[in-house]
Amino acid sequence: MTKNVIDIHPHIISTDTKKYPRAPLGGKQSTWSEERPTSTEQLLAAMDEAGVAKAAIVQSSTCYGFDNSYVADAVAQYHDRFTGVFSVDMLAPNAAERIRYWVGRKLTGLRLFTAGSTMEGQGDWLADPRSFAGWDAAGELGIPVCVQMRIAGMPQLQVLLDRYPHVKIIIDHFLATPLDDGPPYKEAGTLLGLAKHPNIYLKYTPVIVKNARKGKATPETFFPIVLKEFGARRIAWGSNFPATAGTLKELLDDSSAAMASASADNHEWIFRKTAESLYPVLK
């Protein structure tokens, strides 16, 4: 196992609803954030148990919406262990201003939640021209942008790739690509086609590990293909803890086992070095 593992996709939820009120996107709070709230201190304990040195905490959009206060407070308190990935309303007239505000509070990444557990289908706003001011700000500040989306959003993503070729874009959960068909994984063609864009990175999480065990798919036959196309330097591990059930240690061990075919050097990049390249403050 790689030493000094970095997790670029854990979440935190406070039980203090007065200080950190719920404001989930779409008005519906995610089931996992209700049933498995994990505080900053609980995340630290889980990291220590699992052997995770540092983390880029991702804003829990399905609990707090665009109020990133809890993540920012965690980063301020434990800046030696954490950085934060915030969310803003990209269609708001003050999106660029809000991006600069959260970066001013030492958060170093932006996340756009366009599809997920509490949203039916793919959002249609990803490449809305009203979002370009926010993208311009992200580019000027040099921060990576995580995008949680589905394959249906590819036409929108292409607009952004054409317009912002120098902004690092991290695709959450490998697009949650279905892999049931197995080798040669024709259904993964859209995902693999993104490899031609050097600014695209993939977030390797339990979501895609689970998909790689469905139908005719296996981790042993799928992940070597991804590594060949993208290279380990554009893949970084994220636990999705506690949104994905299980302890952080269990999620890390399972993710490591699913990538057993990768070389030791590739493991080093996937579980640490790529994260450091995306979030240099974690070095």
pLDDT-based confidence at residue 119 (cuts at 50, 70, 90): low
- Mean pLDDT of the chain, nearest integer: 95
135-139's contacts with Cβ under 8 Å and 24+ in sequence apart are 135/90, 135/160, 135/163, 135/164, 135/167, 136/96, 137/95, 137/96, 137/99, 137/100, 138/99, 138/110, 138/167, 139/164, 139/166, 139/167
Domain ranges of the chain: 5-282
**Can you tell me the distance from the alpha carbon of 272 to that of 277, in angstroms, rounded to the nearest whole number?**
9
**Can you tell me the distance from the alpha carbon of 91 to that of 126, in angstroms, rounded to the nearest whole number?**
9
Residue 14 has pLDDT above 80, yes or no: yes
The CATH topology of domain 5-282 is: TIM Barrel (3.20.20)
Residue 19: partners with Cβ closer than 8 Å, 6 or more residues away = none
pLDDT digits (tens, 9 = 90+) for 218-234: 999 999 999 999 999 99
pLDDT digits (tens, 9 = 90+) for 244-257: 999 999 999 999 99
Q: What pLDDT does 116 receive?
A: 67
Residue 240 has pLDDT above 70, yes or no: yes
pTM more than 0.85: yes
The 10 Å Cβ neighbour count of residue 211 is: 22
What's the chain's Rg over C-alpha atoms? 17
- Residue 223, both tokens: 């992940």
**Can you tell me the distance from the alpha carbon of 276 to that of 219, in angstroms, rounded to the nearest whole number?**
25
Percent of the chain with pLDDT over 90: 92
**Can you tell me the distance from the alpha carbon of 46 to that of 42, in angstroms, rounded to the nearest whole number?**
6
Mean pLDDT lowest among 150-154, 204-208, 240-244, 257-261? 150-154
